[in-house]
Amino acid sequence: MSDILQLVEPLIPALRRYARGLMKDTVAADDLVQDCLERVVSHWHRRRNDDPRTWVFAILHNLAINRLRQKTRRGEHLPFDTVDEASFAVRATQEDALLRKDILHALDQLPEDQRSVLLLVSVEDLSYAEVAEVLAIPIGTVMSRLSRARERLRLILEGAAGAAQTSGAHLRRVK
C-alpha cells in the first residue's frame, strides 16, 4: 500500500488538471479523479511496469470518455426541483418521422399539376396570385387544383391509416 501512495500521490494534481480539461466541470472532474484512484487501487496488481504514470492517465482518460459518451446518450442532468413542467412535455419523434414519411409518399402519388400547386401554396407559402403567375395559369385553376390536391391527399393519408390499422392480425371467434 505504501508503494501505491509513493507512486500515485504525486500524480493527483496532474490528474485533476487533465480531468478538468476533459470534463470542463470541477465537480465532475473531481469525481472522475476519485473513480480513477479507486480503480488504480483495486487494479494495482494489473499494472505492467514500475512507472504507473501512463497507466493511471490511461485509466482516467478511458473513464472520462465513458462519462462523456454516457452524458451524450442520456442528455444533461437537471435537478427535479428546478425543472419547469414544459421540460417534461417532450413529444416523441418516432411518430412524427412516420407521419412525414407517409405525407411524402402521398405527395408522390398526386398528379404533377396538383402536387406543384400544393407545394407552392403550402410549403413555399406563395399566394394564389403568385402561384398563378409562376405556373402561368388562371387563379381559378390554382384554387381548383389546390382543392382537388388537398382532398386527394386527405383520402390517400386516410387510406394509409386505415390500411395500417387493418393490416394487423385478425381475431377469429372460436367456439
Shared domain for 70 and 35, answered yes or no, is: yes
* Cell numbers found for residue 39: 480503480
The answer to whether residue 175 is domain-embedded is no
Shared domain for 62 and 99, answered yes or no, is: no
pLDDT digits (tens, 9 = 90+) for 62-118: 999 999 898 888 877 767 777 777 766 777 778 888 888 999 999 999 998 999 999
Domain of 115: which CATH number? 1.10.10.10
Residues spanned by the domain of 103: 94-165
Q: Rounded to the nearest 10 degrees, how much is the dihedral formed by the CA atoms of 160, 161, 166, 168?
A: 100
HSE-CB for 166 with a 13 A CA cutoff: 6
The answer to whether residue 173 is domain-embedded is no
Coil vs helix vs strand at 71 = helix
* Cell numbers found for residue 156: 390517400
The answer to whether residue 28 is domain-embedded is yes
HSE-CB for 101 with a 13 A CA cutoff: 8
Shared domain for 50 and 16, answered yes or no, is: yes
The answer to whether residue 32 is domain-embedded is yes
pLDDT digits (tens, 9 = 90+) for 24-73: 889 999 999 999 999 998 988 887 777 788 888 999 999 999 998 988 88
Which spans in 75-127 are helix H? 85-88, 94-109, 112-118
The answer to whether residue 36 is domain-embedded is yes
Cα distance between residue 56 and residue 67, in whole Å: 17
Shared domain for 66 and 100, answered yes or no, is: no
The answer to whether residue 115 is domain-embedded is yes
Q: Which has the higher per-residue pLDDT, 158 or 163?
A: 158
**Counting every residue, how long is the chain?**
175
Domain of 52: which CATH number? 1.10.1740
Shared domain for 116 and 152, answered yes or no, is: yes
- Number of domains into which the chain is organized: 2
What secondary structure letter does DSSP report for 167? T
* Cell numbers found for residue 144: 381548383
Q: Is residue 20 packed enough to be buried (19+ CB in 10 Å), middle (13-18) or exposed (0-12)?
A: middle
Shared domain for 98 and 160, answered yes or no, is: yes
Shared domain for 40 and 10, answered yes or no, is: yes
pLDDT digits (tens, 9 = 90+) for 119-150: 999 988 899 999 999 999 999 999 999 999 99
Q: Rounded to the nearest 10 degrees, how much is the dihedral formed by the CA atoms of 157, 91, 65, 40?
A: -130
Cα distance between residue 142 and residue 132, in whole Å: 6
Whether pTM > 0.75 for this model: the answer is no
The answer to whether residue 14 is domain-embedded is yes
